Amino acid sequence: MAQVKLDAVRKVYPNGYQAVVPTSFQIEDGEFVVLVGPSGCGKSTLLRMIAGLEDITEGTLSIGGHAVNDVDPADRDIAMVFQNYALYPHMTVRKNIGYGLKNRKVPAAEIEAKVQEAAKMLNLTEYLDRKPSQLSGGQRQRVAMGRAVVRDPKLFLFDEPLSNLDAKLRNQMRIEIKALQRRLGVTSVYVTHDQVEAMTMADRIIVLNEGKIEQIGTPSEIYHNPASTFVASFMGAPPMNLIRAQIEDGQVKINGGTELMAVPAGWDSGEITLGVRPEDAVLDHSGAVPFEISIVEELGAHRLLHGEMAGQPFTVHVSKEVDIQPGQTRLTLNPSTLSLFDAESGKTL
Amino acid sequence: MTDITQAPPRRRIRWSVLLDHAILIFGSLFMLLPLLVVFQMTTMPDVEVIKNGPQLKLGGELGPNFDKAMYKASGFSGLNTGTRMLYNSFVLGIGFAVGKIVLGMMAAYALVYFRLRFATLAFWLIFTTLLLPLEVRILPSYEVVQKMGMLNSFNGLIIPLIASATATFFFRQYFRSIPEELVEAARIDGAGPVKFFIDILVPLSKTMIAAMFIIMFVFGWNQYLWPTMITTDEDMYTLVRGIKQITQDLEGTNIPEYGRANLLALIAILPPVLIVIFFQNWFVKGLTESDK
Ligand SMILES: Nc1ncnc2c1ncn2[C@@H]1O[C@H](COP(=O)(O)OP(=O)(O)OP(=O)(O)O)[C@@H](O)[C@H]1O
Ligand SMILES: [Mg+2]
């Protein structure tokens, strides 16, 4: 078990492309950290640098207090689970799981015992003599997990391990992986572009965008206090509503007049971006803000109302009890739930 | 009781299928008939063959002809019996195929998995040697073998031929299709370069190796010019060469040994055919399969 520390780690690919700008953060012992961001933002690059599969251009990476920049992946005491599982197709499940131990000259009897234990933990015992091609996607994913846990490493690395599975299996595996990590207490870094996975699994989330960190925080911090419009719109489904607003006379105003909340004294007047989570807007016939519903989206447990507010697209999330038809209505926005962002930089104010 | 059996569907004659089969049958006969004629002649006494040529009946000379073909030497030293030549051909064919596969795989491994400085250039250099088949460079090759004192030895026969652009090329393409993650997983699992090659790459390449083996074995087995130059001792003769030796008698005044020569020719055909039949599934897989 170990702490992972990145100190101004940077990655420039040989073709000159800077995939990760100098980045620093620390992962605590036993923590489950999720790296999330859109495709191409450098998540895999960062993870692969931690694994040692990719050279670190600049900066220092330490695992368990030792700088490991020049340590071979095999000697970093890590285990990695890949998106396409990367099982050895010609080996049985037993050999797949035991291969890392065999290479480390562990006695055969001990390997067998450890493989059995891992297989039991992952419900793979009856498949031990099958080849990967004779397994379902979920079972293959479990074998990949088995290969990781059997070595009892200091650090687990996951690169989108669930994205090849169907939605139902994904939900199930998500819970299993999280439970397993809790039980073993192994520090883990998990890469995904699925924000639901990030929210549900992480102790802390790192949101990446174009090779730099937008925000680090617990799922609730990320969700409720996004550091930028990027984080606000990336996390949450449907995403946070972002609308243009103004600060005038110490008040946030939309629609050229409707006052929503007071801002601290001394804030400059001018354009800002206002962020409202769809579930934080409350339908209220006597509310201050007019809202024109154009589509009601039925989602079973709840409904999404898509429409326009202050001339801009806006979505409201209501529970299934609220029976509503398209048309004109009004909203109340609770000042404590609103997020304010700089109109230019998108950073939170 | 209700009867739910249906009337069997009426068979319709599919003309296109019929035509396909007609073409295939015709092609097979075209290839097989000469062999059957050869076989017929091996069962007849040589005198009969010379008098009547090929006939439609089988004679009783197969056994004696077989004895002559396998155990009688045609040279002066008495060493180039059929069995000896068969053995030599096998050594050449197998050595040739195995050597080419081992060398080709290792070259491809270096080209694909190691960050060599001029890997692409090296690959194209190897590739262009395809334009220089053995026949083009046979004199310098001979000189090298001769100067190294390897004439009349299996080493001299095999080693100069085993550098193979074809095998290198096929293995390179194959290795490049193996997912990168597999290599990375193996690295994390602590497999060094040699372990990765032996534990992962070789087993994964089974079908490709089989396909290469067939091609190279047949190629090696059928070599004629090279063995003729490198080996002059009679106990080093290969089958393909030995047959020629026997049919040379045609130019003399003796009765040519048709039965013996023809039987040897049949025996020479057999191993490549058997290997292809035996390995054909692997062969097709190796050259067509792309999912790993
Ligand atoms: N070997 C390479 N050479 C040059 N550029 C690369 C290389 N590998 C990745 N990149 C670039 O680096 C950026 C980050 O790639 P990376 O694989 O880390 O993205 P990612 O966040 O994992 O995306 P995804 O969610 O699609 O997997 C991309 O823009 C990609 O084009
Ligand atoms: Mg990726």
Q: Rounded mean pLDDT of chain B?
A: 86
CB burial of residue A336 (10 Å; 0-12, 13-18, 19+): exposed
* Protein residue with least CA distance to atom 18, ligand 1: A42
Count of domains forming chain B: 1
pLDDT at residue B291, as a whole number:
47
- pLDDT tens by residue, chain A, 349 residues: 689 999 999 999 999 999 999 999 999 999 999 999 999 999 999 999 999 999 999 999 999 999 999 999 999 999 999 999 999 999 999 999 999 999 999 999 999 999 999 999 999 999 999 999 999 988 999 999 999 999 999 999 999 999 888 888 899 889 989 999 999 999 999 999 888 899 999 999 999 999 999 999 999 999 999 999 999 999 988 899 999 998 888 888 887 777 888 888 778 888 899 999 999 999 988 888 889 999 999 998 899 999 998 889 999 999 988 888 899 999 999 888 999 999 888 888 8
Establish if B176 belongs to a structural domain. Answer: yes
**Any idea what the Cα angle at residue B271 is, between residues B265 and B275, rounded to 5°?**
145
pLDDT at residue B107, as a whole number:
93
> Nearest Cα to A118, choosing from A137, A138, A101?
A101
Q: Rounded mean pLDDT of chain A?
A: 92
- Quick one: fold of A241-342? OB fold (Dihydrolipoamide Acetyltransferase, E2P) (2.40.50)
pLDDT tens column, B238-248: 888 888 777 66
Q: In Å, how far from its chain's centre is CA A317?
A: 22
Alpha-carbon span B188 to B165, nearest angstrom: 32
B177 is in which domain, residue-wise?
A: 89-234+278-288
pLDDT at residue A249, as a whole number:
83
User: Class assignment of domain A4-234?
Assistant: alpha beta
pLDDT at residue A89, as a whole number:
93
Alpha-carbon span B269 to B221, nearest angstrom: 9
Distance (angstroms) between ligand 1 centre and the Cα of A40 equals 5
Alpha-carbon span A302 to B234, nearest angstrom: 92
Residues in chain B: 292
Closest residue of chain A to B180, computed from CA coordinates: A86
pLDDT tens column, B97-112: 999 999 999 999 999 9
CATH no. for residue B96? Answer: 1.10.3720.10
Establish if B213 belongs to a structural domain. Answer: yes
Structure tokens at A218: 């617990």
Torsional sign, CA A191, A193, A194, A200: positive
Establish if B282 belongs to a structural domain. Answer: yes
For residue A205 and ligand 1, the question of a CB distance below 6 A is answered with no
> Nearest Cα to A133, choosing from A163, A94, A93, A98?
A93
pLDDT tens column, B37-76: 988 888 888 888 888 888 888 888 888 888 888 888 776 7
Check if the beta carbon of residue A329 is closer than 8 Å to that of residue A293: yes
* Residues on chain B bordering chain A, Cβ-to-Cβ distance under 8 angstroms: 179, 181-182, 184-191, 195, 199-200, 203-204, 206, 292
pLDDT at residue B81, as a whole number:
84
Torsional sign, CA A222, A227, A230, A232: positive
State the amino acid at position B185 in one-letter form.
A
User: Taking CB atoms and an 8 Å cutoff, what residues of chain B touch A99?
Assistant: 186, 189, 191, 199
pLDDT at residue B46, as a whole number:
82
pLDDT at residue B1, as a whole number:
47
φ/ψ bin of A37: left (φ > 0), alpha (ψ from -120 to 50), beta (otherwise): left
Check if the beta carbon of residue A173 is closer than 8 Å to that of residue A18: no
pLDDT tens column, B186-233: 999 999 999 999 999 999 998 889 889 999 999 999 998 899 889 888
CB atoms within 10 A of CB A134: 12
CB atoms within 10 A of CB A115: 23
For residue A43 and ligand 1, the question of a CB distance below 6 A is answered with yes
Considering chain A, tell me which residue range(s) the CATH 2.40.50.140 domain(s) occupy.
Answer: 241-342
